[in-house]
Amino acid sequence: MAEKNKEASKNIHQRLNAVMADINYIKKDKKIEIGKGSYSVTGHDAVTKLIHPLLVEHGINIIPECIAMIQEGNRVRADMEFSWVNIDNPEDCIIKKWSAYGMDSQHDKAIGKAYSYAQRLMTLKTLHIQSGDEDCEDGQEEFKAPKQETKPKKVVKKEDDVPYGDVPNGNHKLISDEQRQELNSHVNEAGVPIDVVSDYLRSQGWNTSKEIPADKVAGLFLKIDEMAKEAVNE
């Protein structure tokens, strides 16, 4: 009984800390193929399966609420609020705001993907859960992330945030500065890793975003949307 009363007296910060003490790692369970490359991600269901029993054990409810939704063609942006609530004192809570995009030809599925994407990232970041490609067999607290190979840093021109290199592109009509700014913003909003976008541009023969032909810009925006759709597809 004393132990139960002790648990009930914990505030929401102590409860979240208890969850973080129980888990700090999750294996990436999905692989996204893009062009010649690929990268791994952690799916929404894997995150939910991991934290659900811990939320129950430590008396925490996560209450999602959509506060705004914007449809842009086949893409939906959801602005969300997530309340982490102490079940023994519901007024003791933490509210986290998060926004995410979901894409699908069916509007309702795009909404669901945006919701899932927002909650997945919000949960991983709030609980500071590390993700990686390795298994952890003996408990997450014992997991040590594998050493990463040190790769030479790629030099990026300050005025050119997307790709790398410095090779001129003939006499074709090229992308404008305004279009390049829109492209950078679109990449950031879509959440596609910058190295994935850069690899794709190189595969098309463009070493910098300044080399993109003006007549290819619209198709590139669609390609970035396709990359983001594959990344959030559950």
Q: Residue 53: its pLDDT value, please?
A: 95
Hey, which of 4-13, 114-123, 161-170 has the most confident mean pLDDT? Answer: 114-123
Ordered domains of the chain (ranges, CATH): 2-142 (3.30.390), 150-234 (no CATH)
Q: Residue 149: its pLDDT value, please?
A: 52
Q: Using one digit for the tens of pLDDT, what is the confidence trace for 54-74?
A: 999 999 999 999 999 998 888
Which two tokens mark 189? 């909003």
- DSSP state string for 207-226: SSGGGSBGGGHHHHHHHHHH
- Helix, strand, or coil (residue 101): strand
Is pLDDT of 223 > 70? yes
Is pLDDT of 190 > 60? yes
Is pLDDT of 166 > 90? no
Is pLDDT of 113 > 70? yes
Helix residue spans in 59-176 (DSSP H): 107-126
Distance separating the N- and C-terminal Cα atoms of the chain: 43
Mean pLDDT of 138-155: 46
What is the phi/psi pair of residue 9, to 5°? -80, -10
Entry pTM = 0.54
Angle at 151 (CA atoms; ends 147, 153), nearest 5 degrees: 130
Q: Using one digit for the tens of pLDDT, what is the confidence trace for 24-33?
A: 888 887 766 6
More confident residue, 156 or 166: 156
Q: Residue 151: its pLDDT value, please?
A: 52
Q: Residue 189: its pLDDT value, please?
A: 73
Where does residue 210 rank: exposed (0-12), middle (13-18), buried (19+ CB within 10 A)?
buried
Confidence class of residue 221 from pLDDT cuts 50, 70 and 90? confident
Output the average pLDDT for the chain: 78
Q: Residue 49: its pLDDT value, please?
A: 92
